[in-house]
Amino acid sequence: MSKKFHIQKSPFVVPTTDGKLIEEHFGLASIRSDISVARMVAPSNWSEPFQTPEFDEYTIIVKGQKQFIIDGETIILSVGESIKIQKGTRVQYSNPFKAECEYIAICMPAFSMDKVHREE
């Protein structure tokens, strides 16, 4: 009989070059899963290139604010707010604010670099 649960005590810390902390609790880099669940901390003035992923992404803001540019529309979320962005949507994530932003990201199916389609 196999366990019907898994406690994650040491999430995989994804190496980054932009100052962002990514702790993947479940996903392709940690415990193999068909979804990704990660805690992120984005420093002030952080941003990613535009992307058009092949997965739905859910974001829950825990601390600070996060900016989303979705198909040309700018949206700013604050603590306690959340958003679902459907796969195939062109989006840019950023934190142009003075304080860091902490959030939980969930991707279905799991995040992978070959499915995120970041622009150069």
What is the full per-residue pLDDT of the chain (120 aa) written as tens digits? 578 888 899 999 999 999 999 999 999 988 778 999 999 999 999 999 999 999 999 999 999 999 999 999 999 999 999 999 999 999 999 999 999 999 999 999 999 999 999 998
Encoded tokens for 42: 């984005």
Query: Radius of gyration (Cα) for the chain, nearest Å?
Result: 14
**The pLDDT value given to residue 55:** 98
Residue 4 maps to a domain:
no
Residue 91 maps to a domain:
yes
Per the structure, the count of domains in the chain is 1
**The pLDDT value given to residue 6:** 86
**The pLDDT value given to residue 113:** 92
Residue 25 maps to a domain:
yes
Residue 81 maps to a domain:
yes
**The pLDDT value given to residue 1:** 57
**The pLDDT value given to residue 89:** 98
**The pLDDT value given to residue 98:** 97
Residue 7 maps to a domain:
no
Residue 2 maps to a domain:
no
**The pLDDT value given to residue 74:** 98
Residue 8 maps to a domain:
no
| Domain CATH for 36 | 2.60.120.10
**Cβ atoms 61, 117 nearer than 8 A:** no
Domain extent at residue 91: 16-116
Encoded tokens for 29: 């880099």
**Taking Cα atoms as reference points, which of 50, 22, 18 lies closest to residue 36?**
22
Residue 9 maps to a domain:
no
Return the exposure string of 52-69: e unless at least 16 CB atoms fall within 10 Å of the residue's CB, then b: ebebbbebebeebbbbbe
